[in-house]
Amino acid sequence: MGPAEPLLMGVLNVSPESFSDGSDATTIEDSVVRGRVLLADGAHLLDIGGESAVTNQAAVSAEEEIRRVVPVVTELVAQGAAVSVDTWKRPVVQAVLDAGAHLINDVSGLRDPGIAEDCAAFGAGLVVMHTRAAPKHKELPAYHDVVDDVVAFVAERIEVALSRGMELDQLIIDPGPDFAKTPAQTIAVLQHLDRLQVFDRPILLALSRKDFVGALTARMPRQRSAGTLAAVGYGLDRGGSIVRVHDVAQVVDYLRVRAALRGHLPIPPDLHLAEELRRERSPRR
């Protein structure tokens, strides 16, 4: 798909309280099957979450999160999947790294620097995300300039990670859409996403079904695919290189058509539409 092809991170929530797909989290077996589907759809890695970031519910215990996540990580890693885990609790980090996870997606903004030490010890990657709110708390700081704050925060957190033994090439940065930000502030940060390129690190675009998309479109979470795709395209044009999404197959289709129209995808002269794809019959009543 050309040199600008992003990595696709498929969202695999095993948290019943998740804001958009919590009801999909049932058994370990169901979660593993869902993970396989995301990989078959085109995900390059899976981001497994055992606790929703929603702020209207209390945090689950580290023990409960480990119970939910570790068996799924173990099974999918055994099947050859690249696995990230969305967590901010150090005991969970240690458990999933021991189970073979490759990346920690820390949505706390590295509040516990020990997480960086664990990632360094295991040779795992770490997502450095901007947020000024404690996990599971809805805080909206009075930013003087939210974009400046994101840049300064990421720079400071990178230094913390490096001071705890990590190498720069283990780090990914995330501007933290919706985290400690109003929809308008999230949009402002994304409009200036190119400022994060100064760090010369991969930029994670965690845009799927987010509040700012819902605020713009007045759509419920599962109805935000079109808005998500618009945000993904915009973010990729401004330096994003990893896309975290729920609807992997839709994003793959979007990226394929986008690449073709940009001349990044070879088009065979005999390209044609298969006859069975030409029409759909209306369902019988």
**Domain assignment of residue 203, given as a range:** 7-277
Chain-centroid distance, C-alpha 87: 12
Q: Indicate the average pLDDT of the chain.
A: 93
- The model's pLDDT over 131-176, given as tens digits with 9 standing for 90+, comes to 999 987 888 999 999 999 999 999 999 999 999 999 999 999 999 9
Q: How many residues does the chain have?
A: 285
Least reliable range by pLDDT among 201-205, 230-234, 250-254, 275-279: 275-279
Category of 284 on φ-ψ map: left (φ > 0), alpha (ψ -120 to 50) or beta: beta
Q: Is the dihedral of CA 21, 25, 26, 28 positive or negative?
A: positive
pLDDT value at residue 283: 67
> Angle 250-256-262 (CA atoms, 0-180°, nearest 5)?
135
Which amino acid type is present at position 116?
A
Kindly report the CATH number assigned to the domain that includes residue 209.
3.20.20.20
pLDDT value at residue 2: 46
Would you say residue 284 lies in a domain? no
Would you say residue 189 lies in a domain? yes
Would you say residue 282 lies in a domain? no
pLDDT at 272 over 70: yes
pLDDT value at residue 57: 72
228 vs 137, residue with greater confidence: 228
Measured distance CA(129)–CA(132) in Å, rounded: 10
pLDDT value at residue 178: 95
Number of domains in the chain: 1
pLDDT at 84 over 90: yes
Q: Which strand (E) or helix (H) includes residue 86?
A: strand 83-86
pLDDT value at residue 4: 57
Mean pLDDT along residues 71-87: 98
CA-to-CA separations, 283 to 136, 280, in angstroms, rounded: 44, 9
Q: Is the dihedral of CA 165, 171, 175, 181 positive or negative?
A: negative
- The model's pLDDT over 20-29, given as tens digits with 9 standing for 90+, comes to 554 455 689 9
Active site residues: 210, 244
162 vs 55, residue with greater confidence: 162
Would you say residue 240 lies in a domain? yes
Cα-flanking dihedrals φ and ψ of residue 21, to 5°? -145, 30
Q: What band does 1 get if pLDDT is binned at 50, 70 and 90?
A: very low
Q: Identify whether the C-beta of residue 240 lies closer than 8 Å to the C-beta of residue 205.
A: yes
Would you say residue 1 lies in a domain? no
Would you say residue 285 lies in a domain? no
Would you say residue 283 lies in a domain? no
Would you say residue 88 lies in a domain? yes
